[in-house]
Amino acid sequence: MGKIKKALAWLIVLAVALYAGCFTLRYFYPLDYYDVICENTEKYKIDPLLIAAVINTESRFCENATSKKDAKGLMQIREETAMWCAQQMGITGFTPDTIYDPKINIMLGVWYLDYLLKEFDHDLTLTLAAYNAGIGNVRRWQGNVNYSKDGTNLEKIPYPETERYIKKVKNNHAIYKMLY
Q: Is 67 helix (H, G, I), strand (E, B) or coil?
A: coil
**Amino acid identity at 112:** Y
Residue range 140-175, pLDDT digits in tens: 999 999 999 999 999 999 999 999 999 999 999 999
- Tell me how far apart the alpha carbons of residues 79 and 103 are, in angstroms, rounded to a whole number: 16
**Residue 44 predicted with pLDDT over 90:** yes
Q: Please identify every residue annotated as catalytic.
A: 58
Percent of the chain with pLDDT over 70: 89
C-alpha torsion 60→66→72→77, nearest 10? -80
Give me the residues paired with residue 66 across strands: 72
User: What class has domain 32-179?
Assistant: mainly alpha
- Tell me how far apart the alpha carbons of residues 96 and 91 are, in angstroms, rounded to a whole number: 12
**Amino acid identity at 168:** K
Q: Measured between alpha carbons, how far is residue 132 from residues 113, 125, 136, 160 in Å? A: 11, 11, 11, 11
- Tell me how far apart the alpha carbons of residues 107 and 95 are, in angstroms, rounded to a whole number: 14
Read off the pLDDT of each residue in 51-64 and give the average, rounded to a whole number: 98
pLDDT band at 15 (very low <50, low <70, confident <90, very high): low
Domain regions of the chain by residue span? 1-30, 32-179
Read off the pLDDT of each residue in 8-19 and give the average, rounded to a whole number: 55
pTM exceeding 0.75: yes
pLDDT band at 24 (very low <50, low <70, confident <90, very high): confident
Average pLDDT in the chain = 92
Residues 6+ apart with CB under 8 A from 7: none
Specify the pLDDT at position 14: 46
SS (H, E, C) 88-144: HHCCCCCCHHHHHCHHHHHHHHHHHHHHHHHHCCCCHHHHHHHHHHCHHHHHHHHCC
